[in-house]
Amino acid sequence: MDEFSFIQSIQQSYYRQPTLLKGVGDDAAIIRPSGDDIVIAKDMLVEHVHFIKSTMKPYHIGYKALAANLSDIAAMGAIPAYYLVAISISNDWSNEELAEIYNGMKSLADRYKVDLIGGDTVSGTELVISITVIGYANRNISRLRSAAKEGDVVFVTGTLGDSQAGLHILQNAGTYKEEEYFKRRHQLPSPRVEFSLGLQQIDRVALNDISDGIASEAHELAESSKVGMVLIEDKIPVHPAYAQFDSNLQYNWKLFGGEDFELLGTVSRSDWELVKQRAQQLSLRLTEIGYVTDEKDAGKVFLQQENGKIIQLEKKGYNHLSR
Amino acid sequence: MDEFSFIQSIQQSYYRQPTLLKGVGDDAAIIRPSGDDIVIAKDMLVEHVHFIKSTMKPYHIGYKALAANLSDIAAMGAIPAYYLVAISISNDWSNEELAEIYNGMKSLADRYKVDLIGGDTVSGTELVISITVIGYANRNISRLRSAAKEGDVVFVTGTLGDSQAGLHILQNAGTYKEEEYFKRRHQLPSPRVEFSLGLQQIDRVALNDISDGIASEAHELAESSKVGMVLIEDKIPVHPAYAQFDSNLQYNWKLFGGEDFELLGTVSRSDWELVKQRAQQLSLRLTEIGYVTDEKDAGKVFLQQENGKIIQLEKKGYNHLSR
């Protein structure tokens, strides 16, 4: 298939976003913004680094690539609207597999009515996908990492460590409880878009999505907001079947594992009830896991262990650039 | 260098664009649009496919990658404002080379006051760069490929074939006239941003930038506009020193060579004088090279040869996806 035929094959037959003037098919896409702020996130996924064929089907690769970007948009309190996809593919990927990658993205895009408006397709020696997602955010809604304040409740959606548990199951044959659940959490993660949009009534919420593990993301909040943060270990939410794994793995996955794409946030105690209500309306698990301390601990994150001892957490996690 | 330190090293110390609310450093960048339309282009460049170290220094790679994207923005009649860069690098690139890639982008970004507002940095087995560029376009200015009309003048900026001539010189040791000129055209191409912005007084101009060769770009205009197009071979502008190359190479490079990043356009005869004036003000060479014919030739491009014979041109050119 040549580039032209391929672009035609992935082109949407109609667009859903009312602010789009021109999608695929010119030198650039054109949008006429509605008056809201625009948020833009971009990332890149590389075969063998971020995914391997043995644990991720092409459909999963596309789905998860877009999910990771939608998760960034959710972490800004924004509603996703558009995406662009640049992809470099090697010859050991068939046209069918390539189409399945786009199908994986499409299924998630359909759910959120997000339109594919551009990109590029080239060939290389390994599969590389870069997605750009564009969303709209109401003005004056601050979901910045720098918005945390002393005394805030620290909360997290869902359960942590699931994605790494799923990867472990995919790579280690055996009998596991809730095997399908964990695999699904690794292969088809859910960006918390609805939850984030549900918080629009609240003026100030600091949000960060958990792509690199909660320890790393909590540090980003603490550094940007110039506050300290205490996480309480036995409050960190895990799935009931999580206990089946080795306790060291459990510890590492939930704190440093990454790719759960849950939201970590902080909010004032007075707004906490409202945040809980929103999660309840969505039947989304939401857990208070700690609190924000003052600027004398700026940039530091502590873990209150089950024995009551408080240790300082390292800022480690997924680091895709190790040179 | 870890990802965090690297991101800090490329972060701008200040931003120039007044519509930026938040640049690098959160889950996404935030823009508050000014009321203009927004245009977005994205592409991907892969080592060994789009460039090789022996002909392109890291600085050139960065410069040209951004130039290609700015050229897309110019082809929409828009003014560039922001860019995001996702890069996958292999271990045979040093930190200094990586920094030079960003320096190449920065020098061009500084010239156009374009701000780097996000991206991603990962490691892989080959260098892959994906850039997303965002620009602003005045409302109601149509620079679409679909805007060409029967009777229009077909024009092109600059000279064609230079980039491929430069590559030829870089790959074939020898003595050449204007060697530095041709190499520069390959390594440091100029997007025609100022020229495109100079046309804003004119309601209708069809524009396409020449990334894949004029034959391919002319077909895109003819197909989108449902018209035919005749190009006159001896009017296609080339550099005075272009004649030193083999005549077959000359023919192929100027028609099918690509990467000149000049603008191909069509405009009504009545607006043609104004277009010429704009080019003159910028001391930019501008040449009338043909005319638009009617819908019975929709999607076809013809070449009137030097002997007067008219042949139909193939839609071929750079095709980065050959599967």
**CATH code at position A110:** 3.30.1330.10
DSSP state of B246: -
Give the best residue of A26, A43, A259, A316 to mutate against chain B (max B CB count within 10 A): A26
DSSP 3-state of A250: helix
Of A3, A49, A95, the CB nearest to B122: A49
Asked if residue A10 belongs to a domain, the reply is yes
**Same domain as B308, residue B185:** yes
DSSP 3-state of B322: coil
Give the per-residue pLDDT at B159: 98
8 A C-beta contact, residue B80 and residue B97: no
A318 appears as a binding residue in the annotation: yes
Of A84, A146, A319, the CB nearest to B132: A84
8 A C-beta contact, residue A272 and residue A175: no
**Same domain as B111, residue B176:** no
**Same domain as A71, residue A131:** yes
How many helices (H) does chain A have, and how many strands (E)? 9, 13
**Same domain as B109, residue B149:** no
| Amino acid at residue number B21 | L
Is B118's CB within 8 Å of A37's CB? no
pLDDT tens-digit map of A190-224: 999 999 999 999 999 999 999 999 999 999 999 99
Asked if residue B318 belongs to a domain, the reply is no
DSSP state of B43: E
Domain's final residue, options B95, B118, B137: B137
Instruction: Please name which of B116, B46, B112, B37 lies closest in space to residue A28, comparing C-alpha atoms.
Output: B37
Sorted by sequence, the CB contacts under 8 Å of residue B265 that are 6+ apart come out as B154, B155, B156, B205, B206, B207, B208, B275
Domain's final residue, options A80, A112, A137: A137
Asked if residue B91 belongs to a domain, the reply is yes
ipTM: 0.93
**Same domain as A297, residue A175:** yes
Q: Which residues of B are annotated as a binding site for ATP?
A: 102, 119-120, 145, 211
**What sign results for the dihedral spanned by CA atoms B103, B108, B111, B116?**
negative
> Which residue segment(s) compose the domain that B18 sits in?
3-137
Asked if residue A27 belongs to a domain, the reply is yes
* Cα dist from B267 to A111, B74, B207, B223, B292, whole Å: 42, 16, 9, 16, 9
Residues of chain B contacting residue A48, judged by C-beta atoms under 8 Å apart: 124-125
Residues of chain A contacting residue B123, judged by C-beta atoms under 8 Å apart: 46, 49, 320-323
**Same domain as B217, residue B74:** no
Is A43's CB within 8 Å of B3's CB? no
**CATH code at position B262:** 3.90.650.10
* Cα dist from A149 to A220, A264, A266, A291, B299, whole Å: 14, 14, 8, 10, 61
Domain's final residue, options A75, A108, A137: A137
**Same domain as B238, residue B122:** no
Residues of chain A contacting residue B87, judged by C-beta atoms under 8 Å apart: 44
- What DSSP string runs through B169-238? HHHS-S--TTHHHHHHHHHS----HHHHHTTTT-SB-EEEE-SS-HHHHHHHHHHHHT-EEEEEGGGS--
Separation between Cα atoms, residue A300 and residue B66, nearest integer Å: 38
**Same domain as B133, residue B31:** yes
Asked if residue B323 belongs to a domain, the reply is no
**Same domain as B151, residue B190:** yes
**Same domain as A34, residue A131:** yes
* Cα dist from A136 to A65, A82, A208, B137, whole Å: 20, 10, 17, 19
Q: Write out chain B's pLDDT in tens, 323 residues.
A: 566 677 778 888 899 999 999 999 899 999 999 889 999 999 999 999 899 999 999 999 999 999 999 999 999 999 999 999 999 999 889 999 999 999 999 999 999 999 999 999 998 989 999 999 999 999 877 799 999 999 999 999 999 999 999 999 999 999 999 999 999 999 999 999 999 999 999 999 999 999 999 999 999 999 999 999 999 999 999 999 999 999 999 999 999 998 999 999 999 999 999 999 999 999 999 999 999 999 999 999 999 998 999 999 998 875 444 33
Closest residue in chain B to residue A31, using alpha carbons only? B38
Asked if residue B317 belongs to a domain, the reply is no
Q: With 80 as the cut, is the pLDDT of residue A289 above it?
A: yes
Asked if residue B249 belongs to a domain, the reply is yes
Asked if residue B99 belongs to a domain, the reply is yes
Separation between Cα atoms, residue A75 and residue A257, nearest integer Å: 19
The structural domain count of chain B equals 2
Quick one: pLDDT band at residue A321, thresholds 50, 70, 90?
very low
**Same domain as B101, residue B7:** yes
**Same domain as B279, residue B190:** yes
Is B2's CB within 8 Å of A323's CB? yes
pLDDT tens-digit map of A98-120: 999 999 999 999 999 999 999 99
How many A×B Cβ pairs under 8 Å? 236
